[in-house]
Amino acid sequence: DSGVTQTPKHLITATGQRVTLRCSPRSGDLSVYWYQQSLDQGLQFLIQYYNGEERAKGNILERFSAQQFPDLHSELNLSSLELGDSALYFCASSEDLGETQYFGPGTRLLVL
């Protein structure tokens, strides 16, 4: 158990819908990262937050957004969902910038 929690574990929804994925980092970790893992794209970095502020953006679509709250938990919002958004979404956290990232168990999203 990495200490990073993600909810829900599984999510099934329809195209055009909007979902929110939630992540709680390890105790004491200030940085949160979101990744998408799909069979064709592999593991792709989406976005990073540090102590509530956005620090880096990767291959995140405009339909996706995220934020980190004062208690350091983070949410990833996915809207106007398409079939291709079906993937495993990971949250990871690290104590500080550049430190080892510990991953949560992931949220499996299936868009039908």
- The residues that touch another protein, with contacts defined as CB under 8 A, are 2, 33, 42-43, 45, 48, 56, 58, 88, 90, 92, 98, 100-106, 108
**Pairing label, strands 10-13, 107-111:** parallel
**CB distance 64 to 79 below 8 Å:** yes
Choice between 44 and 79, CB closer to another protein: 44
Choice between 25 and 106, CB closer to another protein: 106
Distance CA 24, CA 26 (A): 7
Choice between 16 and 58, CB closer to another protein: 58
**CB distance 96 to 30 below 8 Å:** yes
| Shortest distance in whole angstroms from residue 3 CB to another protein | 11
Q: Which residues does 25 contact at the CB level (< 8 Å), separation at least 6?
A: 4, 31, 32, 72, 73, 74, 91, 93
| Shortest distance in whole angstroms from residue 16 CB to another protein | 26
| Shortest distance in whole angstroms from residue 44 CB to another protein | 8
